[in-house]
Chains A and B, each alone.
Chain A
Amino acid sequence: MNHNDPDILGRLAERFPQGFTSVQAVDQPTLLTTRDQLVTMMQYLRDQEQYRLCLDVLVVDYLPDRPRFELVYHLYNPWKHARLRVKIRVGINEKVPSMTELWPGCNWPEREAFDLFGIQFEGHPNLRRIYLPDDWDGHPLRKDYPLTGTRVD
């Protein structure tokens, strides 16, 4: 049972015409937007639509595709119990605006995305590796990073 808002994509389409495309998903309303629209759209979702919890920020690596990465935000309205998924596509050396201004809780998941995928966030207060040592080479969750193996230098 879920309480997802079925009209949210319609309301967003009125406010942001041509700002996004909706994506079919089995579990919750999903939309794919652009980097330029991201901050204004997130601001609107948090303040007007009351999506006050950003549950997760994560990255999916679709290796041969261009742009290569997909950044996924899971938003949650804690009063209506509605969920929403916002996605953008990011290329390998492109910068993404950080969401830490809107949700301070995006701090660590964005650092994790930087650590394990090498996504660069603009405006992040402390963009350093979080799990791996600072001198680690490469970003392990990328699809071209091997699962096992010995380094040969």
Chain B
Amino acid sequence: MAIEKPELLGASEPDDTMIINLGPQHPSTHGVLRVRLQLDGERVVYAEPVIGYLHTGFEKSAENLTFQQCNTITDRLDYLAPMTNNLAYVLAVEKILKVEVPKRAQYIRVLFAELTRVASHLVWLGTHVMDLGAMSLFFYTMREREVILDLIEAASGVRMNPSYFRVGGLAYDLPDGFHEKVYAFIKDFPRWMKAYRHLFDGNPLINVRLKGIAILSQEDALGLSVTGPNLRATGLPLDLRKDEPYSSYDEFEFAVPVRTECDAYARFWVRVDEMYESMKIIEQAIDKIEPQGPYATSDRKISLPPREEIYGNMEALIHQFKLVTQGFPVPAGEVYHGIEGPRGEIGFYLVSDGGSKPYRWRARTPSFYNLQSLPLMCKGGLVADVITSIGSIDIMLGDVDK
């Protein structure tokens, strides 16, 4: 579909342009992103993202932690979707260890991965629409996200950085009464979405400020390594949950929302439609999860023995001691595993030298690559559309700067 690109004004000599900084302490840059804007009046001549304000050297830290301990770092990359980061990491380690995880644990992983996807998209929806000028939706989406965080807290004990998935399975079993809470959430969700859609369906604010803005063609998106909803909004149905099913995703029925307009409007609706599809997966997953059953592999060389076993069994005590003090050794070699996170392909590349600490720990974080498309999207547009572009890429600075 052909869309007119905003016209670039003729005069772009260095004398006529002005350079201003957007951020890093600007509320609409979703964190600490700084954008160096070269402006010709109200038109953007060039927008250059400047990153690194949240750089914490995770990859260096990880080389000094055991494979199990590195899991806590993955939470902090994309802190709005910690469970999908956990999942990508533990799947990579399990791939090189060749560990089989019980089906029940796989379904619980799917459930939480989709819950975090909905939570992450809710934050995006609230902040993106707030950037466009509609304040009230933000309060509703944050309130509803809290319900999902309560579910995560019920299972893992913390709201934000759960580290609930462990190599070999899960950290703990689901608590009593968890199924009822999820069913209540599934029942409430359509009502919330209906209320949200009253606020943005047909809203001129959404239509006018998103249609034809921040265009990224499929050719450019592929060249710039863009993945996730941003790529699916260019007409390419690339979703690793469907294409390379992991953690039993092939047993679930869901659709992959795709749009072909390539603009911010398409990206908006791809994400909104994805929330409905995620809810379908959550419904199927909670039905598949038995109330009782194994939640981690029975291989005691990898997963911690249960508490009651430690108190009565010498071997279990030794395993516990060994795993906590040294960690498990991982066979020498290299592995990469990528999964579909809320923002695109999140993957981990690990090199092991045969010890219990990774020799090289590399995170392929989607926002870092997606953000590269910002200069292309903003070129020739208005300053106000820079904000729209940042929101529609859905960046997460913890993910960009790692």
Question: Which B residues touch A27, using CB under 8 A?
Answer: 95, 335-337
How distant is the Cα of A28 from the Cα of B333 in the complex, in angstroms? 12
Q: Which of B212-235 contact A (CB under 8 A)?
A: 220, 222-227
Question: How many A residues are at the interface, by size bracket?
Answer: 35 or more
Nearest CB on B from A10, distance (A) = 22
Which has the most chain B C-beta neighbours within 10 Å: A25, A58, A147? Answer: A58
Q: In the bound complex, do residue A56 and residue B64 qualify as a contact, i.e. CB atoms below 8 Å apart?
A: no
Q: Which residue of B lies closest to A54 (CB)?
A: B225
User: Is A141 part of the contact surface with B, judged by Cβ < 8 Å?
Assistant: yes
Could you tell me if B223 and A105 are in contact, using CB atoms closer than 8 angstroms?
yes
With A56-B349, A130-B51 already in contact, the answer to whether A25 and B61 are too (CB < 8 A) is no
Say yes or no for B75: interface residue by CB 8 A criterion.
no
Quick check: is A13 within 8 A (CB to CB) of the other chain?
no
Is A105 within 8 A of B224, CB to CB? yes
Residues of chain B within 8 A (CB-CB) of A26 are 95-96, 98, 333, 335
Residue of B nearest to A103 (CB): B223
A67 at the interface (CB under 8 A from B): no
Task: Give chain B's interface residues, CB within 8 Å of chain A.
Answer: 51-52, 55, 57, 59-61, 63-64, 95-96, 98, 220, 222-227, 236, 238, 243-246, 250, 333-338, 345, 347, 349, 351, 359-360, 362, 364, 368-369, 371-372, 401
Are A25 and B335 in touch, CB under 8 angstroms? yes
Which B residues are in CB contact (< 8 Å) with A55?
225, 227, 338, 345, 347, 364, 369
Residues of chain A contacted by B63 (CB below 8 angstroms): 147
**Distance to closest chain B CB from A152 (angstroms):** 20
Q: How far is the CA of A130 from the CA of B34 in the complex (A)?
A: 12
- Decide if B57 touches A74 in the complex (CB within 8 Å): no
A-B contact pairs, 6 of them (CB 8 A): A30-B334, A55-B225, A104-B224, A105-B224, A116-B59, A147-B61
Answer whether A1 and B60 are a contact pair too, CB < 8 Å, given A58-B362, A105-B226: no
Which of these, A58, A106, A107, contacts B349 with CB under 8 Å?
A58
Q: A53-B222, A56-B349 known; A3 and B55 CB under 8 Å? A: no
Main secondary structure of the interface of B (DSSP, over half): mixed
Question: Do the beta carbons of B364 and A74 come within 8 Å of each other?
Answer: yes
Q: Please name all residues of chain A whose beta carbon is closer than 8 Å to the beta carbon of B225 when the two chains form the complex.
A: 53-56, 103, 105-106
- Contact (Cβ within 8 A) A1 B336: no
Closest A residue by C-beta to B64: A147
| CB atoms of A53 and B227 under 8 A apart | yes
- Does B244 contact A1, Cβ atoms closer than 8 Å? yes
A91 interface contact, C-beta 8 A: no
Seed contacts A56-B225, A78-B222, A131-B401; 19 additional CB < 8 Å A-B pairs:
A1-B244, A1-B246, A24-B333, A25-B333, A26-B96, A27-B337, A55-B347, A56-B362, A58-B349, A60-B360, A103-B224, A103-B225, A104-B220, A106-B225, A109-B369, A140-B57, A141-B59, A141-B60, A145-B60
A68 within 8 Å of B (CB atoms):
no
Query: CB distance A74 to B349 under 8 Å?
Result: yes
The 9 A-B pairs of least Cβ separation, nearest first, read A105-B225, A131-B52, A131-B55, A105-B224, A81-B243, A56-B364, A60-B360, A52-B222, A58-B362
Which B residues are in CB contact (< 8 Å) with A93?
none
* Cα of A140 to Cα of B60 in the assembled complex, Å: 8
A48 within 8 A of B: no
**Residue of A at shortest CB range from B249?**
A1
The residue in A3, A28, A130, A132 that gathers the most chain B C-beta atoms within 10 A of its C-beta is: A130
Bound: A67/B79 CA distance, A: 37
Q: Give Cα A85 to B245, complex, Å.
A: 20
Minimal Cβ-Cβ distance residue in A for B335 = A27
Interface string of A51-88 (1 = CB under 8 A from B): 01111101011000000000010100010010101000
Q: Which residues of the partner chain B approach A107 to less than 8 Å between Cβ atoms?
A: 372
* B51 partner residues in chain A, CB cutoff 8 A: 130-131
